[in-house]
Structure 1
Amino acid sequence: MNNWIVTAGVWAADSPLNHDYYVDIIGRYWGKDDVAAEVEGYQRDEEDSDVPVFLVVSRDGEDAGCLGMRFLGDGIGELTRMFVRKPFRGQGAASALLRGIEAAALERGVTTLRLDVRSDLVEARNLYAKHGFAEIENYNDAQYAGHWFEKRLTSARPVAMS
């Protein structure tokens, strides 16, 4: 489906979309469904809140997912908070977010995108590879990261990849 709308949003740890992100990512890590205490603790102790570019993808007025970018300097942007709610997965929402973030990056002078991802997030690693991200050496000290990716951007408009 190509009827996704990607808009600029504001990252807030306590938003419903981010809450769903935390439940999903923390639940997968711990391998359990009830992670309310862990989510509450993470939101309370969150120190990684520098997300100056934050996109939300929606369809029919319902927020389906999000993706953020922070600036590392020297034309490098780091992707963070990639998330698509379960009912919308496999329908192109994540691809729409990646196209949107590439356009937002180029508008801000970012020519290289980087990200890290946990080893258990196989779908995410496949998504990034599909969109031209190549695995690179560790570039940060992210506690849970197992894989690091990079993509060099061109000034051409990102190609739609659904």
Structure 2
Amino acid sequence: MTWHLAPEAFDTAAATGLRRDYYDEVASRYWKRPATTEEIDEGLAGDGVELLTPPTGQFVVGRFDGEAAACGGLLMLDSGRAELTRVFLRPAFRGKKGADLLLELLEREARLLGASRLVLNTRLDLVEARSLYVRHGYREIPAYCAGPYIEICYGKHLPL
């Protein structure tokens, strides 16, 4: 049983399915009820995912034994800073070290885009994600952006 992670277009069938599952999970947890198909469609419409392509960003997909299992994105905010976004593992694949591999790949891809620092924002209730980021050396930073779902921000300098 092995992982294979690589950059992939955000609009492939696998990437689209992962993005839908990501939005479904974060919205459902926030609303404390299952998100509807219409709410997922609305949340994904105009979400800026098209910027997650070089040179403005990158999108990656992870497969576990060939099955689409994980995704994550990078968005360049300025010449040296990139934002981690849409970091997600389908629940059936959690606990199989895919999250660690996903973050490692995203950090390498960020360096290839010219970033020396990664930042991210998340919600306090997403405790698993917050634990992952802290385990990988991300530390709480002052807010670098604003929005209704931004409750905590993290940052990390990337080693050369």
Alignment-derived partner of residue 22 in structure 1: 23
1:48 aligned partner, one-letter code:
G
Q: Secondary structure at the match of 2:103?
A: helix
Deviations 1:37-89 (A, max 9, x none): 31122233x33322220011111110101000010113101000001001001
Alignment-derived partner of residue 4 in structure 1: 3
Offset of 1:35 from its aligned partner? 2.4
Structure 1 CA distance for aligned equivalents of residues 19 and 126 of structure 2: 18
Structure 2 CA distance for aligned equivalents of residues 34 and 41 of structure 1: 11
Offset of 1:34 from its aligned partner? 4.6
Over the matched positions of the two proteins, sequence identity in percent amounts to: 35
Offset of 1:13 from its aligned partner? 9.3
Structure 2 CA distance for aligned equivalents of residues 128 and 43 of structure 1: 24
- Among residues 133, 147, 151, which one is paired with 2:152 in the alignment? 147
Alignment-derived partner of residue 159 in structure 1: none
Structure 1 CA distance for aligned equivalents of residues 47 and 88 of structure 2: 19
Structure 2 CA distance for aligned equivalents of residues 148 and 141 of structure 1: 10
> What are the ranges of 5 or more consecutive residues in structure 1 without an aligned counterpart?
156-162
TM-score (normalizing by structure 2) = 0.89
Q: How does 1:26-41 map to 2 (within 5 A)?
A: 26-41=27-42
TM-score (normalizing by structure 1) = 0.88
Distance 1:91 1:138, change over 3 A: same
Question: Could you tell me whether the CA contact under 8 Å between 1:13 and 1:43 is conserved in 2?
Answer: no
Q: How does 1:26-105 map to 2 (within 5 A)?
A: 26-44=27-45, 46-49=46-49, 50-52=51-53, 53-105=58-110
Structure 1 CA distance for aligned equivalents of residues 86 and 148 of structure 2: 15
Distance 1:143 1:13, change over 3 A: farther
2:48 aligned partner, one-letter code:
D
Structure 2 CA distance for aligned equivalents of residues 135 and 149 of structure 1: 4
Distance 1:22 1:112, change over 3 A: same
Q: Secondary structure at the match of 2:77?
A: strand
> What are the ranges of 5 or more consecutive residues in structure 2 without an aligned counterpart?
none
